[in-house]
Amino acid sequence: MNQEARGQSSGARDPGPTESPSPDLPPPASGFADLHLHSSFSDGTYSPEELVSHAARHGLAAIALTDHDTVEGCERAGLACKAAGLEFISGTELTAEQNGNELHILGYFVDIRNSRLLSDLAEFQAVRHKRIHEMVARLNELNVPLEAEAVFALANCRSPGRPHVARALVNAGVCGSMDEAFDRFLKKNRPAWAPKMKISAQVAIDLIHRAGGLAVMAHPGLNRSDHEIPGLVKAGLDGIECFHTKHSSSTSEHYLQLAAQFHLLVTGGSDCHGLSKGKPLIGTVKLPYENVARLKARVASRGSRTPPAVGGD
Ligand SMILES: [Zn+2]
Ligand SMILES: [Zn+2]
C-alpha cells in the first residue's frame, strides 16, 4: 500500500484489460485510487479542480468525490479528471442509522442526474440548514453572538455542517481553533449540539441502488458497528471501506477478513477534507486499482441484470 503509483501516462502500458467501459479513457491496468474525498461542495476546503490536481501530483490513477449529501461537485471533478488523464467515479456520502448506530454510507457510480437522488439529497440539505439554525440558536442562548447567515455565507454550499459552524466561531474570535469549537460547543451532548435527523441504512442503500450506484459502509473502524454488518448485507450493502486514514493496518486487515466472509467489495480512501483538518490527506490512503476494477465489474453486471424501472420510482 505504500508504493507510489507513477508513470500511468508515460507511454509503456500493458496490453490492458479487455473490458473497457469508457470509450474515451481506457482505464489504467494498475496504480492506486483514493475513493473518499470531500470538496468545497460540502465540508472540504479544496475545489473539485484543486482536489484533482493534488490527485494527479500524487500519481493516483482514479479518484471518487464523496461529498456529504450532494453530488454537485461531481461534474466539475469529472471534467478536471478527464483533462488530467485520471479516472473519475461519481459519489456521495450519506449519514444513516441502523438500530440507533450512526453509519456513513458511501454511494459510488451514482447517476448524478437521477431525479429521485437529487430530490432526496435536496431534502437532506434542507435538514442540514435547519440543524445549523438550531445550533446557532443554542449558541445565542449561551450569549455567543453568531448569525446563521454568517455560517451559510462561509459554507457557500448546499451541504453546510458542524465544521462550518466551527469555522464561523473561529472567524468570529469566539474560539481559537476548530477543535476548541467542537470541544466547547459542537460535539455530541455539548451545549450547542443539535441532533441530526438520519435516514435508515436501508433507505440510504435503496436510494444509492436506484441511482445505479453501489452502497459501501464508510470507515467501519470509526463506528464500532461490526454487529450491524450482517443486517446491512441483507439490506443490500455492496462493499466496505477497509482502508481509511483512521484505520490501523490491523483494523484494515480485520475488515478485509469481514469483506471476504460476507462477499463484500473492498474500497478505501483518505477522507480528505482539504486543509480544514490539518494537512491534506489526499493520496495518503492508496487503494490498489484492482479493487476499482471489481467495483466497475459489479456495476456493469448489475446494470444488465436490473429490469428497466416501470412507472418511475
Ligand atoms: Zn464519514
Ligand atoms: Zn467522509
Report the separation in Å between the CA atom of 56 and the middle of ligand 2, taken as the mean of its atom positions: 20
Contact 35, 66 (CB under 8 A): yes
Q: 310 CA distance to ligand 1 centroid (A)?
A: 33
pLDDT, tens digit, 9 for 90 and up, residues 210-268: 999 999 999 999 988 999 999 999 999 999 999 999 999 999 999 999 999 999 999 99
Mark the residues whose beta carbon lies below 5 A from ion ligand 1.
104, 218
Residues with CB under 5 A from ligand 2 (ion): 93, 271
Instruction: Report which bound ligand comes closest to the CA of 271.
Output: 2
Q: From CA 74, how far away is CA 36, in angstroms rounded?
A: 13
Mean pLDDT, rounded, for 62-73: 98
Give the residue carrying C-alpha cell 500493458: 14
How many Å lie between the centroid of ligand 1 and the Cα of residue 36?
Answer: 9
The pTM assigned to this predicted structure is: 0.85
pLDDT one-digit tens code per residue, 92-133? 999 999 999 999 999 999 999 999 999 999 999 999 999 999
Ligand index nearest the alpha carbon of residue 270: 2
SS (H, E, C) 185-232: HHCCCCCCCCCCCCEEHHHHHHHHHHCCCEEEECCHHHHCCHHHHHHH
Burial class (CB within 10 angstroms; exposed 0-12, middle 13-18, buried 19+) of 50: middle
Domains of the chain: 32-120+198-304 (3.20.20.140), 123-186 (1.10.150)
Q: Does the structure show a pLDDT above 80 at 8?
A: no
Question: Taking 70 as the threshold, does the pLDDT of residue 298 lie above it?
Answer: yes
CB atoms within 10 A of CB 57: 11
What distance in Å separates the CA atoms of residue 168 and residue 109, rounded to the nearest whole number? 33
pLDDT, position 3: 38
Measured in angstroms, how far is the CA atom of residue 38 from the centroid of ligand 2?
6
**Cα 29 to Cα 289: distance, rounded to the nearest angstrom:** 7
Judged by its nearest atom, the ligand closest to the C-alpha of residue 66 is 2
Can you tell me the distance from the alpha carbon of 246 to that of 290, in angstroms, rounded to the nearest whole number? 22
Residues 6+ apart with CB under 8 A from 307: none
Helix (H, G, I), strand (E, B) or coil at 134: helix
18 CA to middle of ligand 2, Å?
33
Average pLDDT, the chain: 89
| Ligand nearest to the CA of residue 285, numbered in listed order | 2
Do 313 and 116 contact (CB within 8 A), yes or no?
yes
Please write the tens of the pLDDT for every residue from 158-215.
Answer: 999 999 999 999 999 999 999 999 999 999 999 999 998 899 999 999 999 999 999 9
Q: Give distance in angstroms: CA of 67 to centre of ligand 1.
A: 9
d(CA 107, ligand 1 centre) in Å: 12
- The DSSP letter of residue 37 is B
Please list, in sequence order, all residues whose beta carbon lies within 8 angstroms of the beta carbon of residue 24, skipping any fewer than 6 positions away.
82
